[in-house]
């Protein structure tokens, strides 16, 4: 993954491909990554179609689960670590829809997303125990 996950070789910040994130673990199509430069942030793009990334913070907790489409662009992100208002109610976790963050709205996770959340958390918990 390059700067912000871009496939161009360099990010707008001038970071070379493969230097912005560290892969901690992979399980199937889920890649567990840590952002190298400060606060955990999810990749915007990937080089693997339909990839799922679980972004791990420096306390070793899953912060985000992000999803990428056939064009390798992020299309939604589930935030697990903080509350966000959805229809006036604070929700955790919550799903932001869109490439940037929530230009297509924010909602509570659906049944399929809840299954993926459970799978990601289980995989990461089991990995940390080893």
Tokens 């049944």, residue located: 111
Query: Parallel, antiparallel, or unpaired: how do β-strands 52-56 and 30-35 relate?
Result: parallel
To the nearest whole percent, how much of the chain has pLDDT over 70? 85
CA 1 to chain centroid: 13
For 65, list phi and psi in degrees, rounded to 5. -125, 120
pTM: 0.84
More confident residue, 130 or 124: 124
Provide the domain limits for residue 69: 3-129
Total domain count, the chain: 1
Question: What does the mean pLDDT of the chain come to?
Answer: 87
pLDDT digits (tens, 9 = 90+) for 87-99: 999 999 999 999 9
Is the pLDDT confidence value at 4 over 50? no
Residue 43 in tokens: 């990749």
* Among candidate residues 106, 127, 113, 124, the one with its CA nearest the CA of residue 63: 124
Could you tell me which residue, 7 or 72, shows the higher pLDDT?
Answer: 72
Tell me which DSSP letter residue 107 carries.
E
Reported in sequence order, the residue ranges of the chain that DSSP labels E, i.e. its strands, are: 21-27, 30-35, 52-56, 62-68, 74-79, 84-86, 89-91, 94-97, 106-107
Query: Over the stretch 34-67, which tens digit does the pLDDT of each residue have?
Result: 988 877 788 888 888 888 999 999 999 999 999 9
**Cα atoms in the Cβ-side hemisphere of radius 13 Å centred on 10:** 4
């Amino acid at each position: 993954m390059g700067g912000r996950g871009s496939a161009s070789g360099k990010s707008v910040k001038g970071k070379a491909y493969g230097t912005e994130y560290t892969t901690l673990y992979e399980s199937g199509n889920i890649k567990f990554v840590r952002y190298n430069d400060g606060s955990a942030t999810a990749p915007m793009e990937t080089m693997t179609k339909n990839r799922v990334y679980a972004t791990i913070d420096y306390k070793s907790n899953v912060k985000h689960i992000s999803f990428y489409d056939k064009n390798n662009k992020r299309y939604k992100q589930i935030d697990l670590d903080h509350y966000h208002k959805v229809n006036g109610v604070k929700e955790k976790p919550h799903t932001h829809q869109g490439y940037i963050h929530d230009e297509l709205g924010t909602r509570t996770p659906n049944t399929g997303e809840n299954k993926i959340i459970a799978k990601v958390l289980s995989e990461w918990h089991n990995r940390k125990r080893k």
